[in-house]
Structure formats: C-alpha cells, structure tokens
Chains A and B, each alone.
Chain A
Amino acid sequence: MEGKDDTLFHYTDVDGYNAIRSQPVWVFKASQPPGKRPFGAYFTTLGPGTTLLARRLGLPKQKIEYVFAFNGSANLISLRGSRGKIVLYCRENYQVEQDRQVDSGPMTEVAERLQ
C-alpha cells in the first residue's frame, strides 16, 4: 500500500515512538544509518500494511511496530538510486508541526485507520 497523495511515514520501535510523540511538534532525529548511507532522518512513501514492508526497508520486525504519518515532503531528499522512489531523508533533524501530522501509533492500528 502506497501512501495517499503526499503522505510520508516514519517507522520506529516502541522507544522511538515514545520519544517522538512526547512533544507536540514531532522531531525526527538525524542519525548515521548502517550501510554507508547519508547521515539523516529517514522516511518512506510506503504506508502501513504494505506487503513485505520490513524487508523493503531493510529493517527488523520491531523497527516497524510503530509509525508516524504526516503530509508534505518539504526539504526532503530522495535516496540515491531506484530506492529513491520510496525512501527520502533529511540531513538534519526533521520537524513536523501539528498541522502536518496525520496519525501515529502501532502500525497495525494506523493501517486500519488509514484504509
């Protein structure tokens, strides 16, 4: 399932979820991902419920248990190569104000709400 329109998603585990949702403005922290990728905060166009989601993002199960959905892709860069169609990133911490926030929570619950 692709995200609707320009909805983007950030998947995380329970610790990441609790840290991000603790503030009214979501702040996705830039960090160094594995595999020599650029330093940044990463997002995807793939919505919750997408077939083989964890595998397509190269993540273990527990890293997709929670999701944040928001509108707009301002200041985001497509990953180099074909995966740039589904993976975007920001070189710095990325803030999402309340008017762009769509939903957040356990991935399975958000998937049901966004259907």
Chain B
Amino acid sequence: MIGGSDFVIPTLASGAAFDACLRTIRRHWPNAIFQDAISGAKVDRFDAVPIGRWMEMFAYRDAAAARDWDEYELIPELAGTMVHLTRSGSDITITVDDVPGPEIKRMVDNMQRAIRMDIFTLPASVQGIAA
C-alpha cells in the first residue's frame, strides 16, 4: 500500500533545495501547475509558490494533467505527468512513477544536480552549519 519511486537527497537547506527543484521542474514543464499536498491549494506560477510554507507538494506537467489527476487519480495514462516533492530538515524526497520514463529520469537527475550546485553556493549559515 505504497507506490512510486523515491529519490532521497540529503540537504540541510531544504528550502533552497525545494526552490532548486521547482526551477528545474519549470525548465522541463514551462506550464507546470503546483499544488500544496496538505491543503490542496494550487498555483499556476512558479513565483507564486510559498516555498517557505509548503512542506509537501505536487507538480503537474500542465493544467490538463492537473485536471486529469483530480478526476482519475493514479492511472497508467497519467504516467510521467506529476512529480511529488516532500521535504524535512534533513532531506528532499522526490517521488515519481514506479518505473520512471526517460523525461522524468532526466528531470530527477537535473534536480539532484541543481540541489548540489545550490548547496555549494549557499553560505554556511543558510545551510544550517554553525559558523
């Protein structure tokens, strides 16, 4: 009674890492819709996502995909149209299809790369490391 494939990326700067993931998603899916997993609230612009407040979210490829998920939930036809992000104080978990396709794999690779690059450029205090 659990589905999807998890990619766990350790980070002490989960807010910045979340932001890096969203920017990566936007590059792959310019018309992405973002949804808070706790409240169900949706926004259709990357810069409207309250990154500091959302701890768990879904990103859909576009508005049509978001509508289809609301209507059908998980069905094979919707593979490759949604990414689930969860964060805590110590990691970001990216959850995708059970068997992710090439585009989703590339997106996950790019998110992992973006998080690593962001972490290297963050000051130690932002990363949660005592100066």
Contacts and interface: CB of A to CB of B under 8 A. Distances in A.
B40 to A, nearest CB: 5
B73 interface: yes
Interface in A84-104: 85, 87, 89
- Interface of A, secondary structure class, is mixed
Given A35-B5, A36-B5, A83 B86 contact: yes
Contact of B74 (A35, A54, A83): A54
Given A60-B73, A82-B93, A83-B95, A51 B38 contact: yes
A55 B58 contact: yes
A83 B93 contact: yes
B84 A82 contact: no
B2 A81 contact: no
Interface string A64-91: 0000000000000001111101010100
Interface string A27-66: 0000001111100001110000001101111111101000
Contacts of A12: 1
B84 A37 contact: no
B3 A34 contact: yes
Nearest to A89: B2
A30 to B, nearest CB: 12
Contacts of A54: 73-74
B62 interface: no
A37 B74 contact: no
From B37, B74, B87, B88, residue with most partner A Cβ within 10 Å: B74
7 contacts: A34-B99, A54-B74, A55-B82, A58-B3, A60-B3, A82-B92, A83-B95
